[in-house]
Amino acid sequence: MRRLMVAGNWKMNGTRASVAELLKGLKSQEFSATVEVAIFPTFLHVNEAVEALQGTSVKVGAQNLATQSGPGALTGEVSASQLTDAGCTLVLIGHSERRQLLGEAESVLVEKFKAAQEAGLVPVLCVGETLAEREADQTFDVVGAQLDSIMDSLGVEVFSRAVIAYEPVWAIGTGLTATPEQAQDVHHAIRARLAARNAEVAQGVRLLYGGSVKAANAAELFRMPDIDGGLIGGASLNADEFGAICRAAGN
Ligand code: 13P
């Protein structure tokens, strides 16, 4: 049985005051023990989050990391070992905003994935197609290639210590959610892609759905057999809404 996971990607949001408020709200939520809950604040707010959530089961992750896991001369970057030292246990890799707006190439994502695991962080690899790619019937090819790029370089076994988030780019921040059936189809294809190399790894890996998930649509998505939880953007900035999404996963 895969344990469901609900994670909040706070993106470039929050001030010290609003983050304190959000963390306070999170601490007052009832989370089911059957669901793993995590948040991804900005680097600036990781410390505050780790401290505030001490003694709770909520995990803290980072939204990005450097391509090398240890210290070095890399101005402006944060390494995987610094993240574990700060109390992070997870890290996002390959979010579409970084792939598309910041031009992160597959080769860079492979290095980041490797650096994360070297330091003991669990990578959450984000994959997904654009609207043009979906309309051109290329969804499975695009997502498949994003997975292959990691598997070809690092081996399928790395996914026994990682999470995959399917986030169709057209559903991110648009209010347009993939239907449960659309999401399930892609999740099923992702699992099959991994199973072609290692069935056991494919069965064990958690596949989160992301893209305009809110309390009102979470339950129907999480009910699908290959959807093991969600990666939540906008709705994770509201503690009660995020709490409700986590409870939807627990039911
Ligand atoms: P929204 O939930 O705001 O659509 O964002 C999804 C996302 O990008 C999470 O990483």
Write out pLDDT tens, residues 182-212: 999 999 999 999 999 999 999 999 999 999 9
DSSP 73: S
- Ligand 1 center to residue 181 CA distance, Å? 19
**Which tokens belong to 29?**
């939520």
Catalytic choice (36, 104, 111, 167): 167
**Which atom of ligand 1 is closest in space to residue 172's alpha carbon?**
4
The reply to whether 45 belongs to the active site is no
CA distances from 222 to 35, 209, 228 (A): 12, 9, 6
Low-confidence ranges of the chain (pLDDT < 50): none
**Which tokens belong to 221?**
């998505």
- 233 CB under 6 A from ligand 1? yes
- Ligand 1 center to residue 56 CA distance, Å? 24
- 61 CB under 6 A from ligand 1? no
- 7 CB under 6 A from ligand 1? no
94: annotated binding-site residue?
no
Per-residue pLDDT reduced to its tens digit, 69-109:
999 999 999 999 999 999 999 999 999 999 999 999 999 99
- Ligand 1 center to residue 171 CA distance, Å? 8
CA–CA gap between residue 16 and residue 150 (Å, rounded)? 36
**Which tokens belong to 213?**
């998930």
The reply to whether 95 belongs to the active site is yes
CA–CA gap between residue 108 and residue 173 (Å, rounded)? 25
How many other CB atoms are there within 10 angstroms of residue 14's CB atom?
20
The closest alpha carbon to 114, from 53, 148, 65, belongs to 65
Q: Which long-range contacts (CB under 8 A, 24 or more apart) does 194-201 make?
A: 194/147, 194/151, 194/156, 194/159, 197/151, 197/156, 198/156, 198/157, 200/160, 201/156, 201/157, 201/159, 201/160
CA–CA gap between residue 3 and residue 229 (Å, rounded)? 9
The answer to pTM > 0.95 is yes
CA–CA gap between residue 58 and residue 32 (Å, rounded)? 11
Predicted pLDDT at 1: 83
CA–CA gap between residue 171 and residue 21 (Å, rounded)? 28
Q: In this structure, are residues 226 and 184 in contact, taking their beta carbons and an 8 Å threshold?
A: yes
- Ligand 1 center to residue 71 CA distance, Å? 31
CA–CA gap between residue 3 and residue 207 (Å, rounded)? 11
- 213 CB under 6 A from ligand 1? yes
Residue whose CB lies within 8 A of the most ligand 1 atoms, among 167, 170, 208, 237, for a mutation test: 167
The three-point CA angle 81-87-92 to 5° equals: 70
Residue whose CB lies within 8 A of the most ligand 1 atoms, among 40, 232, 242, for a mutation test: 232
The closest residue, in CA terms, to atom 7 on ligand 1 is 233
Q: In this structure, are residues 178 and 211 in contact, taking their beta carbons and an 8 Å threshold?
A: yes
- State which amino acid sits at residue 204: G
How many other CB atoms are there within 10 angstroms of residue 87's CB atom?
15
